[in-house]
Homo-oligomer: A and B are copies of this chain.
């Protein structure tokens, strides 16, 4: 019942590794960036476009899809792949994070969590077992356990409590999964989530407890929620030092290109983040020399593409001036072209990362990348 994950190459000068993850819906080359499709659609883009920009796997969210349209409807549609016309792998988050960040009046106890829908105020209960059930109805290739993500900062006693609760819930998710029959004729996998906030000791406790249960993969959760950057990377390192080498490691909800490169060097294999699509919808375009906001007056008569070296549909067909016009005119095409370009960039970035791990020069490539990327970000800031 496990995924097939292989480390194809281990970088000699860092913890970075090249891997291959096989699911019922195809193979994924890691390190991989996973676009976020919260409500069963990566905002503004079609499945066809996602394939064209190089997306290997996308995310769905059990909390959102449970509330709307309802996981039973998606199950009756034949699962989320069929419902949303996405044939490649899907990872679904359990909904734990959303219960804590979006819903009102949540009540948490060891049994699970009670919450009110952020849509209509209706009451719902989510238990570890229920979280697995919902994700089995969605038919995602990779399901996530229900976890508790304490806000930053939190008192140590509360963090310890939530680590224990997350361990207990992971155990119950595992049991539920092991005792369930797949609904769509293919096997789904289940990843555990390491919590522990910014405390090394508790991160270790959390990781070790979950490793003992032998999950097919491990996520690092509860980071990138306000803690200082050095602490964030320290915590990632603490986790990847302990997590088994032969299992995929997924850093949840992060990040910017420079953070992604750093986390890869610490041994992370999988990433998701709303930044490329969300920022793209605001007119912020990622390039190899930094970000560029096409809304800026500087681009009013700039008929060059956002990135002259880029081969995405946006850059091959449209100028900064036209994109600026679309954003200032609130035209929907702008949201699409920004999302499309940024995902293409993120996928090119991870492709570069994989290529340079393979050719044993990841660390020197990283330095080159950061030199170019940072210098130009500062230039762009001045233009704003």
Q: A328 — which chain B residues lie within 8 A by C-beta? A: 68-69
Complex Cα–Cα for A300 and B73 (A): 8
- A30-73 interface with B by 8 A CB criterion: 39-41, 43-48, 68-69, 73
Q: Inside 8 A of A203's CB, which chain B residues have their CB?
A: none
The tally of residues in A whose CB lies under 8 Å from a CB in B reads: 38
Q: Give A358 to B332 CA distance when docked, in angstroms.
A: 38
A324 contacts partner chain B, Cβ-Cβ < 8 Å: yes
**CB-defined interface of A271-313 with B at 8 Å, one 1/0 digit per residue?**
0000000000000000000000000000011010000000001
Q: A14 → chain B, closest Cβ, in Å?
A: 39
With both chains docked as a complex, state the minimum distance between the C-beta of A47 and any C-beta of chain B, in angstroms.
7
Asked if A76 lies at the interface with its beta carbon under 8 angstroms from chain B, I say yes
Task: Say how far A338's CB is from chain B's closest CB, in angstroms.
Answer: 12
**Identical copies of this chain, number:** 2
Are B85 and A317 touching (Cβ within 8 A)?
yes
A365 at the interface (CB under 8 A from B): no
Check A83 for interface membership: any CB of B closer than 8 A.
Answer: yes
Closest approach, in angstroms, between the C-beta of A48 and any C-beta of chain B? 7
Residue A375 is within 8 A (CB to CB) of chain B in the complex: no
**Complex contacts, A48 vs chain B, CB 8 Å:** 313
| A48, A76, A83, A325 pick with most chain B CB within 10 angstroms | A325
Interface string of A310-334 (1 = CB under 8 A from B): 0001000111011011101101110
> Known: A85-B318, A322-B83, A336-B46. Is A329-B68 also a contact (CB below 8 A)?
yes
Check B69 against A319 for contact (C-beta < 8 Å): no
User: Can you identify 27 A-B contacts, CB atoms within 8 angstroms?
Assistant: A39-B325, A39-B329, A39-B331, A41-B333, A44-B332, A44-B333, A44-B336, A46-B333, A47-B317, A68-B329, A69-B321, A69-B325, A69-B328, A73-B300, A73-B301, A77-B301, A77-B303, A77-B319, A77-B321, A77-B322, A83-B319, A83-B322, A83-B325, A85-B318, A85-B322, A332-B332, A332-B335
